[in-house]
Amino acid sequence: MKRKQILATVAMLAAGAGLAACSDGGGGGGGSDASNCTNTITKKDLPAVTMWGWYPNMQLVVDNFNKLNDEVQVCWTNVGQGGDEYDKFQTAISAGTGAPDVIMIEADRIPTFQIQGALVDIKQYGFDAVKANYSEGAWKDVSVGDAVYGVPVDGGPMGMIYRKDIFDKYKITPPKTWAEYEQAAQKVKDAGGPLFGDLGANVPAVMMALQIQKGATPFAFDPAQPNSIGVKLNDQASKDVLDYWGGLVKKGLVGTQNQFTPEYISGVINGNYATYISAAWAPGYLTGAGVGKGQDTGKFAVAPLPQWDPANPVQVNWGGSAFSVTKQSKKPELAAKAAYGLYADKESLTDGWTNQIIFPLNLTALKDPAFIDLKVAFFDGQQANKEVYVPAADAYKGVQYAPFGQYYLDAMEKQVSEVIKGSITGSQAADRIQEDVAKYAKEQGFTVQ
């Protein structure tokens, strides 16, 4: 339990001290040291900026950038995906040293780091030249107020992935509304079919997106008044969506398996779930996890996300990242150049979307007919971008994320778990989340409205 860990920690600290002693002579240290890159920099006379990121094709993206650029070179390290990287960045912020110049961050985390003063407003460094390359919604997701804290790379417009074989067998068509979704689920269940979907407690970001779809505005934040924040997590829309999913669980229409687990993936392959409410990057992720390669080849298709009010459809987003410049960077201007240029050249973008690693937000790719008309192999040749994801991305309006997003998502996860257990209703969960997060916001010194 803890003893071995303590020993390991002591050993690690000792080794770390040794390493630190060695690198003292080398100048710099931690993330700001450009002498220890995963990629090879050929233009050695140019200044270099350090960068952390975890896109699967990062090596290629960095090489492309360095090849095309004659002002600055990027020195890239992968320090972990998502939470692992944020933990390291957070530690570097607290320590005041060790952060890289440029960092890949998911859009919903930007306010968390911005409020700590860890990111640079890059509007002053050539924003106008690239402004037209991205949609307004894409910029809104990486902005706090008027200031821009990142360059968007990819997004996650949401859709409903479904199993054609199951839909055919039970003679159902893709539901257009959430009411139809429930009816279809009931129909499949009555006929002895599999679960219709899944409510995973560990994907609170999906629940947040679905609440926003119904009109919830969880956070209102004006950077001109950084001391006050609007927290509205138990309004009627939020409660309705939680109640809706709680109801589906109670009726046994959807599963409660945590997602991104081997357990869930094996269920997807086995056809235990008729639908998977997910984002545009899901095919790439699922393919990587081994879905759609064996008995389930060519059985998947995608339809637009069901709506609450089909007359006024609302599109939402899950995931997607950006490149930000850190406050600890000693070369913010060069770093901003790298942030603007990385993953923005055609070759990198094409590699990204053909391999379904990213759903690009750069309009040169988003408007590229080859991208729009792509027949996605995972969906058995369906033109998924044209039919579902591009319209969803175009209609996406952007969201104001919270400066304490991690706490909010943790609170959501905790209460969704309770809903899954059946110990509370969705409405009660919403009230508890509100109480919990508002209390935290007050503790952190905000005036909560």
| Site for other proteins, rule CB under 8 A | 1-5, 10, 13-14, 83, 87, 90-91, 93-94, 115-116, 200-202, 226-227, 256, 258, 261-264, 266-267, 270, 403-404, 406-407, 410, 413-414, 416-417, 420-421, 443-446
Closer residue to other proteins, CB minimum distance, 337 or 432: 432
Distances (CA, A) of 428 to 216, 236, 246, 422: 16, 12, 11, 11
Closer residue to other proteins, CB minimum distance, 153 or 416: 416
Closer residue to other proteins, CB minimum distance, 96 or 369: 96
Q: Cβ of residue 32: shortest distance to other proteins, in angstroms?
A: 20
Closer residue to other proteins, CB minimum distance, 226 or 391: 226
Q: Cβ of residue 47: shortest distance to other proteins, in angstroms?
A: 31
Q: Cβ of residue 90: shortest distance to other proteins, in angstroms?
A: 5
Closer residue to other proteins, CB minimum distance, 5 or 173: 5
Closer residue to other proteins, CB minimum distance, 72 or 254: 254
Q: Cβ of residue 66: shortest distance to other proteins, in angstroms?
A: 32
Q: Cβ of residue 53: shortest distance to other proteins, in angstroms?
A: 20
Closer residue to other proteins, CB minimum distance, 195 or 365: 195
Q: Cβ of residue 227: shortest distance to other proteins, in angstroms?
A: 5
HEC readout, the chain: CCHHHHHHHHHHHHHHHHHHHHHHHHCCCHHHCCCCCCCCCCCCCCCEEEEECCCCCHHHHHHHHHHHCCCCEEEEECCCCCHHHHHHHHHHHHHCCCCCCEEEEEHHHHHHHHCCCCECCHHHCCHHHHHHHCCHHHHHHCEECCEECCEECEECEEEEEEEHHHHHHCCCCCCCEHHHHHHHHHHHHHCCCCECEECCCCCHHHHHHHHHHCCCCCEEECCCCCCEEEECCCCHHHHHHHHHHHHHHHCCCEECCCCCCHHHHHHHHHCCECEEEEECCHHHHHHHCCCCCCCCCCCEEEEECCECCCCCCCCCECCCEEEEEECCCCCHHHHHHHHHHCCCCHHHHHHHHHCCCCEECCHHHHCCHHHHCCCEHHHCCECHHHHHHHHHHHHCCCCCCCCCHHHHHHHHHHHHHHHHHCCCCHHHHHHHHHHHHHHHHHHCCCEEC
Closer residue to other proteins, CB minimum distance, 13 or 191: 13
Q: Cβ of residue 444: shortest distance to other proteins, in angstroms?
A: 4
Closer residue to other proteins, CB minimum distance, 351 or 410: 410
Q: Cβ of residue 107: shortest distance to other proteins, in angstroms?
A: 19
Q: Cβ of residue 250: shortest distance to other proteins, in angstroms?
A: 16
